[in-house]
Chain A
Amino acid sequence: DADVTQTPRNRITKTGKRIMLECSQTKGHDRMYWYRQDPGLGLRLIYYSFDVKDINKGEISDGYSVSRQAQAKFSLSLESAIPNQTALYFCATSDPDRDENIQYFGAGTRLSVL
């Protein structure tokens, strides 16, 4: 089983719909991250969480919200999806007790907003 699991793997939705992407991890890491990946733009940080009570905005947080339900779970929500949120979304984790700079990624969620 994957250490960092993202669900769903693929999702097609319509403009204006609310959608939630979920991430769970079995690595026991405190830190979790949400990125989106777009051609020509690379990976950009949306939100990150250093623990359950510490959530921070990344460089492109507008239009997104997150919830850290437990150490192992970090969800990303699009309250009202728009077409330019079509992208590949990745969750990642890191362990500050070992090396906070090494991030472990899930397999990604491919989201299409029509």
Chain B
Amino acid sequence: QKEVEQDPGPLSVPEGAIVSLNCTYSNSAFQYFMWYRQYSRKGPELLMYTYSSGNKEDGRFTAQVDKSSKYISLFIRDSQPSDSATYLCAMTGTASKLTFGTGTRLQVTL
């Protein structure tokens, strides 16, 4: 079993929809949780960063962490075609070694 599980998609939604992306993990030592966005032919770029359990909001994006369930989510409100990308969850406990999910490919259609 992988340490981090992420549904690969692809996920196709109409413009304006609310998108929910999720990852589950098995390592209780993970404390820092990130979401990276990767556009086609580009490197991943950090989108959201949270520590421990709770919610964090940034514009149309909300990251949630539930450590008791070992489950993290990224919500995108009012999705736009420019949100079409692959979203990677990542997490770590210590020493800056990240463990990544496999990524979910999102397509937002007009």
Binding site for B on A (CB under 8 A): 4, 31, 40-45, 48, 58, 90, 92, 94, 96, 99-108
Q: How far is the CA of A44 from the CA of B98 in the complex (A)?
A: 9
Residue in contact with B44 in the complex, picked from A31, A43, A58, A96, CB distance below 8 Å: A43
> Is the contact region of chain A dominated by helix, strand, or loop, or is it mixed?
strand
Q: Which residue of B lies closest to A110 (CB)?
A: B41
Residues in B lying within 8 Å of A, measured CB to CB: 4, 6, 8, 32, 34, 36, 41-46, 49, 88, 90, 92, 95-98, 100-103
Which of B8, B43, B49 touches A105 (beta carbons < 8 Å)? B43
A58 to B103: give the CA distance in the assembly, Å.
20
Is A90 touching B96 in the complex (CB atoms < 8 A)? no
- Contacts A45-B98, A105-B36 aside, 13 further interface pairs with beta carbons under 8 A come to A42-B6, A42-B88, A42-B100, A42-B103, A43-B88, A43-B90, A48-B97, A96-B96, A99-B49, A102-B46, A103-B96, A103-B98, A108-B43
Whether A41 touches B44, Cβ cut-off 8 Å, given contacts A48-B97, A96-B96, A101-B34, is no
